Amino acid sequence: MDARTAARISGIFHKTSVDATKTAQTTISHVGQKRTFDEYHEKSEASAQSAVGDVAKKSEFRRPTLHRCLDPLKASVIHTRLQTHGPTEYSQRRHLALTPAPTSNPYLSLSHRAYGLPKQLVDNLASLGVRSIYPWQSDCLLKSGALDGEQNLVYTAPTGGGKSLVADVLMIKKIVENPGKKAILVLPYVALVQEKLRWLRQVVSGITKKVAEKPYPEKQNPMWSKRGDEESVRVVGFFGGSKSNLAWADLDIAVCTIERANLLINAAIGDWSVGNLAVVVMDELHMLDDEGRGYILELMATKLLCLDQSVQIIGMSATLNNAELLAKWLDNARFYISRYRPVPVEEYLVFDNNVYNASSSSSFYKTATQLNLQSQRTQVSSQMRPEATRVIVPSEHPEFGSSLVNAVVSLAYETASAGYGALVFCSSRVGCETDAQLISRVMPRPEELNIDIVDKREELLSDLRSLTIGLDSVLEKTIPVGVAFHHAGLTTEERDLVAAAYDEGVLKVIVATCSLAAGINLPARRVILHGARMGADLVGPSMLRQMRGRAGRKGKDEIGETYLCCQKSDLEAVAELMEADIPSVESCLVPGKRGIKRALLEVIVTQLATSDESIDNYIKKTLLYQTSDRNELSATIRSTLDDLIETDLVSSPMDGVYEATLIGQAVVASLLAPEDGLFVHKELKRALEAFVLDGDMHAFYTFTPVQVTTSKVNWKIFLKEIDHLSESNLRVLTFLGLNPLTINKMANGATLKETTLAEINLARIYKRFYTALQLRDLSNEMPISQVARKYDLPRGIIQNLAQTCHGFAAGMVRFCGTMGWGALAAVLGHYEERLKAGAKSDLLALAEITYVKSRTARIFWENGFKTVAAVAAADVKDLLPVLIMAQPKKPRLDAESEEKYIRKLKAKVEIILKSAGRIWERQVREEIEDEE
């Protein structure tokens, strides 16, 4: 490389010590993990390749990469007017006050005896980059009383301020010191559960619990025989589609979604094992006032407060405005408020190609108000006119003709070209992909970059291409220049790979939807908001704080920046939004919402409260009681109990005493709201009369969630599918009360009425059946990508539908089991296995193997690998051609890219063989035990 090329690369991606630490501090590394396998094979092939050949190969494989990219454009220059901090932050590091270290404050080391933590835990955290804690974390742990395990705790700290570490320390310490006791960690989203699961398993690796000595020698009492892992800390995840048939004895820490945590606690109360529960951590505590799910969090916590034994409750959030009230509700818990951010964040408002400094919400308000005045008056005094700190030169390209788009693209380019990470938030999935493509057009071309970064991006493309759904066409064009998008339309595997590559610095810009702000962990040097809307509506203050809170990466950035780019029509609304306080968290059990009915039904079913007096005591433990008029609340409770009795969910054998009916028990067991449970009961009761068994549509309709995920029906596609239904599946359609003529009218522009209750329920059946068609295709081995194309939906939405239906299907099986409908439960149980496997009945055994699902399992079957034993006995060379056959079609690759692609598939074959071996060994062991 000549000096001029080296200088150009240095100017585009300026290497800093911060960049150098990125790889070392990565928490998730899919790309890196797979490269170990690649390197193993590269060693065996190295002798066959000359240095000249390598150079020629790399030169050849760059050309198709360049052709895949979109046509290049030039980003606008940004001029600085006001130098409030001296030189620009990209040309010189700022001098920042460092966080105190353990050398100046010994309590900032978790090894200090005041914390009483196992050395292995301290070592594990250090290996993960946590070598000291912040002063606020030390105060919160030592002065709250929570470290002793007796005091409940509510605390709040900004995003990135280290909230989770406090809860992790409290939870693990409690479990290690109290053998037999269990912990539950509650998170709102499946993605967060999966991420936390990986993190905690690393944190507790090698930690030994203080297991009490057994009273009898093992030979004298076989009940004390060792399972082998009693002394280790076992972390298990519970979320939609995950296995949930584990007992307390199988785990120490359960990481759960809100719904699964509630189910786990209900089951523990029901079988009297709740005494083993020692601590419950509720992350994202502000979710209490979420209209869809917040009431479940409240009723779960209230049940814990009603137990005779003490369960420590820890609640935390970055967006709590009334922590004191929540602490009072949680049995006078201690509350702690921290405003500390390890990385300072600067805030800016961008309007009409001008950047305005706004270090606080009041500054934002003042700036936006003055800009509004300026746009309304022809002459404004210089004192009134805010002065822009930087100016973005209008673009010469028509693609960037909008000042809003021009600002987003220019700011993202400036960050990436300096070697930092930028996170752009958009209001829609389409907007994400559009912005990603526009930003990619101004980024340095692959031939301008260091060969190492080009290789890593090609490796990421190879990883994505080797997924069963294939490589997204937009990502194929944007990833070579370091840009990607991240939204619910991508599958979980795609989002994981993109997030890992961004975390490693392989990708420089991620464009995500606003709705994912709370469900992702993608911190960035610079956060850019493309408008302040989520869909047609403005985001709320809490969501805005979640997005802005992603700015500034501890250990990687010296400072964080947020840029809210808005248009003229939104200036006034943005001003109000930036000035608005975070709303106080309120109860969702209020009259008019469905939560109070489910809360009362659950405590009656679990027998926590079965009389007027005990129900009154239960209500006093709710958050609702803290803020409600007592007389109005009493009247609401009375009317709700009457409603439960009237709908046959509860009976009252004597005045003031309540019992759950069989239907009420089934509703609670299946995690349904009472209204939805009554609808499901009516549908299942009808199904008992004439369940269609010579087809599969009736079962998949039953597994479709009542609140269907795909609520928008494409009636033209619906009509086309109806025309191809078999006779048995048409019987299901008629049995459910659906009319093909109505579907035909909808396909030709008519509107489905949803005015009366009967019309609403009928519309729900139409929507469920349409969604059930997608489940049918998935369970009949149609790949997710093909189902997505067929119904014109994003792949991630289809995958999420399948995962949601796993949990709902399990609920329907529990509903039937509770009602005593054993035969129907058995039929549905079989279809539940098919739904999980995405395959027909003959492939269920094969589908247990990792990576062998749906179409892949069918290809294995058709090529002679019909049993787990056959797969376990195979070799890599036997399975590789079969796995290649199961991959989606891809464009022809150059020699080196094809070689990398094959190596990825070889790595998958290795995993398949190991998985099949473990399953086969288990089956053999079970057969031997059965014979004995």
Residue 497 banded pLDDT, cuts 50, 70, 90: very high
- pLDDT at site 371: 63
What pairs with residue 279 in β-bridges? 183, 312
- pLDDT at site 314: 96
* pLDDT(566) > 90: no
* pLDDT(706) > 50: yes
3 state DSSP class of 835:
helix
Q: Which of 21, 910, 130, 33 is nearest to 496 (CA)?
A: 33
Phi, psi values for residue 815, rounded to 5°: -60, -50
Q: Please give the share of the chain, as a percent, with pLDDT higher than 70.
A: 82
User: Would you tell me how many other CB atoms lie within 10 Å of the CB of residue 786?
Assistant: 17
* pLDDT(140) > 50: yes
Q: Which residue has the higher pLDDT, 301 or 520?
A: 301
∠ Cα 33 39 43 (to 5°): 165
- pLDDT at site 679: 92
- pLDDT at site 4: 41
Residue 395 banded pLDDT, cuts 50, 70, 90: very high
At which residue do the structure tokens 């067991």 appear? 669
What is the torsion angle, in degrees rounded to the nearest 10, for the CA atoms of residue 120, residue 124, residue 127 and residue 128? -160
The model's pLDDT over 603-644, given as tens digits with 9 standing for 90+, comes to 999 999 999 999 999 999 999 999 888 888 999 999 999 999
Cα-only R_g, the chain: 29
Distance of CA 487 to the CA centre of its chain: 11
Which whole number is the average pLDDT over 242-251? Answer: 68
Q: Which residue has the higher pLDDT, 218 or 809?
A: 809
> For 94-108, 209-223, 344-358, which range has the lowest pLDDT when averaged over its residues?
209-223
- pLDDT at site 443: 94
Which whole number is the average pLDDT over 321-333? Answer: 91
- pLDDT at site 649: 96
Start-end of H helices in 47-162: 51-68, 119-127, 135-143
∠ Cα 437 441 446 (to 5°): 110
The model's pLDDT over 818-867, given as tens digits with 9 standing for 90+, comes to 999 998 999 888 888 888 888 888 888 898 898 888 888 999 999 999 99
Which whole number is the average pLDDT over 438-464? Answer: 90
Say if strands 354-357 and 390-392 run parallel, antiparallel, or are unpaired.
antiparallel
∠ Cα 251 301 673 (to 5°): 95
Residue 359 banded pLDDT, cuts 50, 70, 90: low
Rounded Cα–Cα distance for residues 932 and 926 (Å): 10
Rounded Cα–Cα distance for residues 716 and 185 (Å): 44
Distance of CA 422 to the CA centre of its chain: 20
Q: Please give the share of the chain, as a percent, with pLDDT higher than 90.
A: 41
- pLDDT at site 31: 32
- pLDDT at site 50: 29
Domains of the chain listed by start with CATH number: 135-213+229-337 (3.40.50.300), 345-358+388-579 (3.40.50.300), 595-660 (1.10.10.10), 663-838 (1.10.3380.30)
Rounded Cα–Cα distance for residues 122 and 76 (Å): 48
* pLDDT(368) > 70: no
What pairs with residue 155 in β-bridges? 316, 336
The model's pLDDT over 178-199, given as tens digits with 9 standing for 90+, comes to 888 999 999 988 878 988 999 9
The model's pLDDT over 377-392, given as tens digits with 9 standing for 90+, comes to 554 444 455 678 899 9
Which whole number is the average pLDDT over 878-892? Answer: 84
In this structure, are residues 882 and 863 in contact, taking their beta carbons and an 8 Å threshold? yes
User: Would you tell me how many other CB atoms lie within 10 Å of the CB of residue 112?
Assistant: 17
Rounded Cα–Cα distance for residues 89 and 552 (Å): 13
Q: Which residue has the higher pLDDT, 226 or 614?
A: 614
The model's pLDDT over 572-613, given as tens digits with 9 standing for 90+, comes to 777 777 777 788 888 888 766 668 899 999 999 999 999 999
Q: Which residue has the higher pLDDT, 412 or 840?
A: 412
Which whole number is the average pLDDT over 714-740? Answer: 93
- pLDDT at site 710: 52
The model's pLDDT over 14-68, given as tens digits with 9 standing for 90+, comes to 333 333 333 333 233 333 333 332 332 333 333 323 222 332 333 333 344 445 6
- pLDDT at site 516: 67
- pLDDT at site 66: 45
- pLDDT at site 926: 79
Give how far Cα 832 sits from Cα of 498, 813, 856, Å. Answer: 31, 8, 19
In this structure, are residues 14 and 525 in contact, taking their beta carbons and an 8 Å threshold? no
- pLDDT at site 99: 57
634: Cβ contacts below 8 Å, ≥ 6 apart: none
- pLDDT at site 522: 78
- E strands of 114-248, at which residues? 153-156, 182-187, 235-238
The model's pLDDT over 260-290, given as tens digits with 9 standing for 90+, comes to 999 899 888 888 888 899 999 999 898 898 8
Q: Which residue has the higher pLDDT, 374 or 96?
A: 374
Which whole number is the average pLDDT over 113-137? Answer: 92
Which whole number is the average pLDDT over 700-715? Answer: 81
Average per-residue pLDDT for the chain = 81
> Considering the entire predicted model, what is its pTM?
0.79
- pLDDT at site 51: 25
Start-end of H helices in 690-739: 697-702, 715-723, 727-735
> For 234-243, 339-348, 503-512, 757-766, which range has the lowest pLDDT when averaged over its residues?
234-243
Residue 405 banded pLDDT, cuts 50, 70, 90: very high
Rounded Cα–Cα distance for residues 597 and 101 (Å): 52
- pLDDT at site 593: 67
